[in-house]
Amino acid sequence: MNVSLKEIQAIDVHAHPYLANTEPYTPEEFVRKLSLSVIPNQIPPHYKRVKKQPFPGSNMWVQILIQRLAKKFSCEPTLESVVKERNIRAIDFRKYTRDLFSDAKLSGVIADFGYPQPLLSKEDYADLCGARIWEIHRIEPVMVQLSQDCQNFAEFREKYRANLAGALKQDGIVGLKSIIAYRSGLEIAPKDEKLAADEYEKFKENSYAKAKKLRDYCLHVAMEECTKSDKVMHIHTGIGDGEVVLQKASPSFLIDMLRDEKYENTKVHLVHGGYPWIEEAAFIVSILPNVYMDLSLQNPFSGHGVKRILSQVFEFAPFDKVMYGSDAFTVPEMNWIGVHLFKECFEDVLNSWIDSDYMDSETAQAIGEMVLYRNFENVYRKHL
Ligand SMILES: [Zn+2]
């Protein structure tokens, strides 16, 4: 007997909301929606593209999406045909989105409403996709807003902590999130209020300022509040869009903070599993009992790489420490292909483990289900 994940529900532990869009996309607009900014802004005017030649800048995952959507729509596997077909269906955007979610058996999402800004409505997004939505509360927009409202660091410090504590009391908010990897990197210094205060004016003037000591301080406060409320601290790790501080984005930089005794009981969720440093993340979750990782972003954006990643991450990561994710952020096709590609790749990997006699098929099936939704339930159970 082989593993089959097709009928198994998936919970996506990291994705973003988007608005309904019933306007048709041109093929170029559609492919830009799929991009983590690899598509050039300006296609050279004399760029020659023959039939079937991939659109400039599109990579393997875009190719896989076109191929799979063509199969679903029974049309030619070209960008132009697929976009034409999806535009017809997307006129009723709510129905189209709900169909894609239910086809993928995608029943719930932890949504990061920190992107896009300004904030979208949770109710609207839940209604659009028909799945359960939980939220995380991003700390950076809070820091920026309060730096505008507060005259001095003492006031900022009080209001910042109160904001986080207040958010964590709300039902449906499962934790906090930091994108410090986009601002000053993951090498977090010990908490130091005096040094943080010294950088307050600089941050007040420019919310994009590195202000590392202040940012490190704010992350510590967020960790403390998550500990108190027993909710989960999400930390962006690894690559992201073009702004990330790549030199300091490996999850290994977090190790000193994560190993600190005072955070022994703090639940931490390494968003994007540190890709491409997934082996570091896998090792970290293997040694620290309350640290978890997801496979969002690398799935589906590494395309065929998802299969390699699944094999590699379980070289060290315990089976109960890894969760499904997509980082879908613009169109529901991303949520849809995320689940399908992941299930397809994981089935291959799990079946190869059965073939190698590492486990029987029931065990392999159970592992598949753990990563798709059971681990999520165990980590977040208290707050569902
Ligand atoms: Zn994201």
Residue 12 lies in a domain: no
327 CA to centre of ligand 1 in angstroms: 5
78 CA to centre of ligand 1 in angstroms: 28
Of 40, 57, 89, the domain-final residue: 89
- Residue numbers of the domain that contains 153: 106-383
| Same-domain status, 352 and 237 | yes
369 CA to centre of ligand 1 in angstroms: 23
48 CA to centre of ligand 1 in angstroms: 34
14 CA to centre of ligand 1 in angstroms: 6
15 CA to centre of ligand 1 in angstroms: 6
378 CA to centre of ligand 1 in angstroms: 22
Query: How many domains, in total, are found in the chain?
Result: 2
CATH number, position 222: 3.20.20.140
Residue 7 lies in a domain: no
Going from the C-alpha of 377 to that of each of 218, 266, 278, the distances in angstroms are 28, 17, 23
Per-chain residues with Cβ under 5 A from ion ligand 1: 327
Per-residue pLDDT of the chain (384 residues; tens, 9 = 90+): 799 999 999 999 999 999 998 899 999 899 989 887 655 567 777 888 888 898 887 889 999 999 999 999 999 999 999 999 999 999 999 999 999 999 999 999 999 998 888 889 999 999 999 999 999 999 999 999 999 999 999 999 999 999 999 999 999 999 999 999 999 999 999 999 999 999 999 999 999 999 999 999 999 999 999 999 999 999 999 998 878 999 999 999 999 999 999 999 999 999 999 999 999 999 999 999 999 999 999 999 999 999 999 999 999 999 999 999 999 999 999 999 999 999 999 999 999 999 999 999 999 999 999 999 999 999 998 877
| Same-domain status, 278 and 362 | yes
Peptide bond into 276 cis (omega under 30): yes
Closest CA to 271 of 297, 299, 235, 243: 235
240 CA to centre of ligand 1 in angstroms: 8
* Residue 351, number of CB atoms within 10 A of its CB: 16
97 CA to centre of ligand 1 in angstroms: 19
Closest CA to 100 of 69, 70, 78, 126: 69
| Same-domain status, 177 and 205 | yes
